[in-house]
């Protein structure tokens, strides 16, 4: 809270209000402390002085005030507004620099205008659904527009490789890939352990323990490896991309880049997208291997399988087509994660609250798009493989 304060030796313990009439002109002299603790009292006294007799002009003198905070300043501004509303000119005189600074942060319009949005929303359910639908459509259009701009920037970079900042690409490769390797490997290992153990509980009823390696390997390579890796990267790197670009927008660094003639998408987004597309397939391979290793631990310790048997059964269950399509899915997921993270970062307008909002939105939207893309891949690859079997 802003305040004006003199030394305590010169400051009376309480406020003092005195007035003088000259014809119909009222002069009010304020002295002492005026703050939140005596707000109601001095406001009542000043209004009593004003209402005691009809005045044509009111002048409030601040020369003897030794303490003034923003609450008292707001109350005095409201008194001034009330006088003006009754066609009585009111002046505040002898304000020192600190007092002028406190009064300068009080916006006159905010005292009279209603807030833009009421505290209690009275919109109906259908209207809210319609508004959310419009917001979703608008957000989809913005994302598609950004994807188009990003593709143009990538095409330009491919045609002019020297414009690509290689150091930034390697930096984001390390941050999104190398730094994320331990958590990806750990989650993959645990997923393999869980799948192997849970499938063992079911298969042992039929004496089909030999199929556990095939189940774990196929599930990790086909679905869980790329999907789990993409979700982890969305949480780590997608949010980081949104927060980084959003902070630059708030600090007007993006505007500075545009002023200097740099394309912000080519300068900021392209290195992040390329780095993510490079590292996510590699992380997926590590996740697959970690999951198979986790299943092997259960296979050797609980299923009475040898390491050679486990590896042999795993290799039989995995085809080259499965590995290639898994890496393609991982690359597509990486492109979606980095694109949505950068796009959300560029949507930030002001303040830390906006950065947090769009960082959260980047993670949620990335995970949603990953699941949608994975569903499309599942259907598409089924028919592709079926067609290749029929024609091959």
Question: How many other C-beta atoms can be found within 10 angstroms of the C-beta atom of residue 133?
Answer: 10
Dist. CA 256–CA 249, nearest whole Å: 10
Instruction: Classify 262 in phi/psi space as left (phi over 0), alpha (psi -120 to 50) or beta.
Output: beta
Q: Which domains does the chain have, with CATH numbers?
A: 3-112 (3.30.750.24), 142-374 (no CATH)
Nearest to 356 by CA among 272, 242, 251, 233: 242
Higher confidence at residue 96 or residue 228?
228
Dist. CA 246–CA 392, nearest whole Å: 51
Query: How confident is the model over 376-383, as a mean pLDDT?
Result: 89
What are the strands, taking DSSP E only, across 273-380? none
pLDDT for 118 equals: 52
pLDDT, one tens digit per residue, over 133-148 is: 998 899 889 889 999 9
DSSP 3-state assignment of 54? coil
pLDDT for residue 117 is more than 70: no
Inter-residue contact 64 to 30 (CB < 8 Å): yes
Nearest to 97 by CA among 60, 68, 59: 68
Inter-residue contact 202 to 304 (CB < 8 Å): no
The residues with which 190 forms a beta bridge, in sequence order, are none
pLDDT for 6 equals: 46
Residue listed under structure tokens 């990790």: 220
Q: Which two tokens stand for residue 206?
A: 């039929």
Inter-residue contact 320 to 314 (CB < 8 Å): no
Nearest to 182 by CA among 314, 286, 313: 286
Question: How many other C-beta atoms can be found within 10 angstroms of the C-beta atom of residue 230?
Answer: 30
pLDDT, one tens digit per residue, over 22-72 is: 877 888 888 888 877 888 888 888 888 877 777 788 888 888 888 888 788
Dist. CA 42–CA 295, nearest whole Å: 77
Which residues, including other chains, have CB under 8 Å from residue 77's CB and lie 6 or more apart? 103, 106, 108, 111
Q: Which two tokens stand for residue 251?
A: 């600090």
Q: What is the pTM of this model?
A: 0.68
């Amino acid at each position: 809270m802003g305040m004006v304060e003199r030394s305590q030796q010169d400051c009376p313990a309480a406020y003092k209000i005195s007035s003088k009439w000259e014809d119909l002109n009222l002069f009010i002299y304020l002295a002492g402390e005026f703050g939140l603790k005596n707000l109601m009292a001095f406001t009542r006294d000043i209004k009593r002085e004003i209402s005691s007799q009809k005045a044509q002009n009111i002048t409030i003198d601040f020369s003897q005030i030794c303490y003034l905070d923003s609450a008292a300043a707001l109350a005095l501004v409201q008194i001034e507004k009330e006088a003006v509303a009754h066609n009585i000119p009111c002046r505040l005189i002898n304000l020192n620099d600190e007092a002028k600074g406190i009064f300068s942060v009080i916006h006159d319009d905010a005292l009279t205008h209603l807030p833009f949005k009421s505290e209690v929303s009275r919109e109906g359910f259908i209207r809210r659904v319609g508004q959310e639908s419009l917001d979703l459509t608008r957000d989809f259009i913005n994302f598609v527009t950004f994807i188009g701009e990003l593709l143009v920037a990538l095409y330009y970079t491919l045609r002019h490789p020297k414009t690509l900042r290689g150091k930034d690409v390697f930096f984001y490769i390390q941050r999104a890939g190398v730094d994320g390797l331990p958590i990806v490997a750990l989650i993959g290992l645990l997923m393999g352990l869980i799948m192997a153990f849970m499938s063992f509980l079911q298969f042992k009823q039929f004496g089909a323990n030999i199929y556990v390696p095939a189940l774990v390997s196929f599930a990790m390579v086909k679905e869980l490896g790329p999907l789990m890796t993409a979700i982890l990267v969305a949480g780590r790197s997608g949010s980081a991309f949104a927060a980084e670009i959003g902070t630059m927008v708030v600090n007007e660094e993006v505007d500075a880049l545009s002023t200097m003639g740099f394309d912000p998408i080519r300068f900021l987004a392209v290195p992040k997208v390329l780095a993510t597309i490079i590292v996510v397939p590699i992380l997926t391979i590590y996740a697959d291997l970690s999951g198979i290793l986790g299943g092997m631990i259960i296979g050797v310790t609980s299923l009475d399988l040898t390491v050679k048997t486990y590896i042999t059964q795993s290799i039989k269950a995995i085809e080259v087509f499965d590995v290639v399509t898994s890496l393609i899915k991982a690359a597509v997921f990486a492109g979606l994660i980095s694109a949505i993270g950068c796009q959300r970062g560029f949507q930030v307008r002001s303040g830390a609250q906006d950065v947090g909002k769009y960082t959260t939105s980047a993670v949620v939207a990335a995970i949603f798009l990953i699941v949608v893309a994975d569903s499309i891949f599942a259907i598409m690859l089924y028919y592709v493989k079926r067609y290749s079997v029929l024609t091959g």
